[in-house]
Amino acid sequence: MTEEPTPAQADKFYRGKILRLFRGSQGGVVLSATGRETNFAFLHVVMLGDVRKFDDLREGMEVGFDVGWTSHGLQVTVMKVIGS
């Protein structure tokens, strides 16, 4: 079971927004505050906070996220919608 991050831990997430969502494959792209685009496959993302379902995500939502190396390269592995 994943624990909710403390406020100090929450500051360690990268910040960005959901740039694109692909409903068919349940994936998407997050645009970081520095302008880098990072893909995600919802099935492989640990969701923190109140938003837990892919259908609740919307393009333009602000998110905190972390990344990791996968067989498909660098991907979002943890995500929390900011303000949820």
Could you give the domains of the chain? 7-81 (2.40.50.140)
Q: What pLDDT, on a 0 to 100 scale, did the predictor assign at position 12?
A: 84
d(CA 3, CA 21): 26
pLDDT tens for residues 21-72?
999 999 999 999 999 999 999 999 999 999 999 999 999 999 999 999 988 8
Quickly state the pLDDT bin for 76 (edges 50, 70, 90).
Answer: very high
DSSP 53: S
Please check whether residue 21 is in contact with residue 76, taking contact to mean a CB–CB distance below 8 angstroms: no
- Pairing mode, strands 73-81 and 46-48: parallel
Quickly state the pLDDT bin for 1 (edges 50, 70, 90).
Answer: very low
In terms of pTM, does the model score above 0.75?
yes
Cα–Cα separations (whole angstroms), residue 79 to 32, 64: 12, 6
Quickly state the pLDDT bin for 4 (edges 50, 70, 90).
Answer: low
